[in-house]
Amino acid sequence: MGFGYVGKILRVNLSDGRIWTESPDDKFYRTYMGGRNIIAYYLLKEAPRDADPLGPDNPLIFATGVLTGVPIGYSGRNSAGAYNPLTGGYGESESGGFFGAELKFAGFDAIVIQGQSPKPVYLWIHDGQAELRDASRLWGLKTAEALEAVKDELGERRIRSASIGPAAEKLVRYASIANDITHFYGRCGMGAVMGSKRLKGIYVRGSHKQVPVADPAGIQRCVQAYRERGPSLEECNANLGTIGSLEALSAAGALPTYNFRAGSFAGAQKITGATLAETLLIDRDSCFACRNKCKRVVEAHDPYEISPTYGGPEYETGAALGSLVGVDDLAALCKANEICNAYTIDTIAAGVNIAWAMECFERGLLTKEDTGGLELRFGDGDMVVRLVQMIAERQGFGDLLAEGVYRASQKIGRGTEQYAMHVKGQELPMHEPRAKHLIGLGYAVSPTGADHVHNVHDVWYEDETNPMFNRIRSLGILEPIKATELTPEKVRLFVYDVNWWSLFNVLELCFGQPYMTDFLLVAEAVRAATGWNTNMFELTKVGERSVTLARAVNVRRGMTAKDDTLPARFFEPIEASPKGVPLDRQAFQESLQLYYAMMGWDDAGIPTRAKLIELGVGWAWPLMQEGMKRSP
């Protein structure tokens, strides 16, 4: 056992029921540090290049980071990864909550799950022990129901869980995994991968309620910084959550509306955080070691019965199941969110699929014959609720939408493809590239398909007084940038910043003050937790290593620069957006090539052998070559 990690990785083969552990050395942990790097490592080392994402050869990996479970604030995250059922390439999703910390308390830094069980099972992990148990009676239950049944069966009430609902069991391609019911590995279809393995859940209990750290006094300094520079208790108790930003984004013309046709929504005020707080909100929730209560808890009885058990909507959900589909009915939005959470569906993907269908129906490209008689119109909240339920159950037209917007549009054809908002097959999140041009570049090159977290939000860097601009100065970016343009200087910022944000998906830090704006504090936290004499240079390279290894996974799967694209809509004018400017195709292509060169990749977006060696992962070169149609 070292510091910041417990030194054990749990291995499970569902096909034959074998369970064993590995004990990597300190060099492994310092090289990879957790999260995305561990996922990419095992995908490259052990997953067959041509494995079906929904087949037994696709490993499902849960990985913590060296800061997961260290009580410094914002340290409750952990990752799940596998080949992505939507894109066929690299898949990874992060979740907050308490599961990651509990996994370390129970004696493991990561879980690598292989194979496919012949019958439904669940994995029970407790204090260094693990066993597979029959889950036949749990199959078909919603996540809260299953968790209660497992607690009763084990006689243990304080279990933490990562589990799936009926939508994941039915292999909805963008199914999610729930952590303790209200926290989610939302993106990349990890729930579908788990469902394909007939693994209902992972239930964890650990009695060792601390992660060993090298410098407890250093950890306390980080805790003090969190208390002094993070949100106050008063702010936490009064905050509106991430959905509180929805109305301001609409006013700025940056709120995805009507399937990304527009940037402002007339009904934004009806579905924003302030309105939610005044109406359906009954509580707020948080994650491990965090006092920033950004999670919503809602309840209603009319016109929909909405249980607080499944939490409430955050910003991405509010936009995806609200403005994107033209719905300003807060109750309908919250009911659709509840169904997604109970059945484990990515709310972003659900909204994008429904918005695609509504636009195509209104344009006459989809007919009642296609939809099973349904009239699909923007603004119909009842229809959104109905479609989400149909997706969850793969019923009727919902069965097509459950395949994801790329496959659905390919099956229908007839020009519907141009209204399918995805990158590499993964639906776009709720951030408008015409208002933030680097977001568009980030969508295109993201290893998971479109993603907004390991990305750059240009508006942070327009104003020198913004705390986010001050932090980027420490990376040598000294001039403000304009959000609605792509220049070589912005590509440089993108390279530096994305490598750093990707580090958060390795260490497993959430995005909050003060770590979000202080690189040095992050380095201090890692030093105090691990005892390593680390610095910003090493940590930046760890982040770059994670970006490059994820890219290597995709190259091995046959992806290259041809897959780094955006929907045509973002090169066209945007409605109702005073600040929105279409991306310029030539500038976009030039930015892609410049990005590849700055990253040490070739013109086809393939990491060079020299770059892999420079990052200490030269072993990935021959594996990556399996997907390359050229000699070394």
What is the CATH number assigned to the segment(s) 437-511+535-625? 1.10.599.10
CATH superfamily of 9-205: Aldehyde ferredoxin oxidoreductase, N-terminal domain (3.60.9.10)
Q: What phi and psi values does residue 297 have, to the nearest 5 degrees? A: -130, 120
Mean predicted lDDT score pLDDT of the chain: 96
CA 124 to chain centroid, in Å, comes to: 25
Exposure string over 64-99, b if 16+ CB within 10 A, otherwise e: bbbbbbbbbbbbbbbbbbbbbbbbbbbbbbbbbbbb
DSSP class per residue in 45-89: HHS-TT--TTSTTS-EEEE-BTTTT-SSSS---EEEEEE-TTTSS
**Is the predicted pLDDT of residue 372 greater than 90, yes or no?**
yes
Question: Hey, is 111 helix, strand or coil?
Answer: strand
pLDDT in tens, 478-537: 999 999 999 999 999 999 999 999 999 999 999 888 988 899 999 999 999 999 999 999
Report residue 483 as tokens.
Answer: 């959000």
Q: pLDDT band at residue 628, thresholds of 50, 70 and 90?
A: confident
Domain boundaries, the chain: 9-205, 231-420, 437-511+535-625
pLDDT score, position 630? 44
Residue 231 is predicted with a pLDDT of 80
Task: Give pLDDT tens digits for 69-102.
Answer: 999 999 999 999 999 999 999 999 999 999 999 9
Nearest alpha-carbon partner for 502 in 557, 470, 539, 532: 539
> Which residues contact residue 534 at a Cβ distance below 8 angstroms, ignoring those fewer than 6 apart?
523, 526, 527
| Region of poorest pLDDT, from 49-63, 150-164, 232-246 | 232-246
CB 609 within 8 A of CB 618: yes
9-205 and 231-420 share one fold: no
529 with 214: CB under 8 angstroms?
A: yes
pLDDT for the residue numbered 561: 95
Q: Which amino acid is at 554?
A: N
The residue behind tokens 């096909």 is 15
- Over residues 106-129, the pLDDT tens digits come to 999 999 999 999 999 999 999 999
What distance in Å separates the CA atoms of residue 142 and residue 350, rounded to the nearest whole number?
Answer: 18
At the top level of CATH, the class of 231-420 is mainly alpha
The answer, yes or no, to whether residue 218 has pLDDT greater than 70, is yes
Supply the pTM of this predicted model. 0.97
Q: What percent of the chain has pLDDT over 90?
A: 91
pLDDT recorded at residue 254: 97
Instruction: For residue 514, say if its preceding peptide bond is cis, omega within 30 degrees of 0.
Output: yes
Please report, as a single letter, which amino acid is at residue 90.
Y
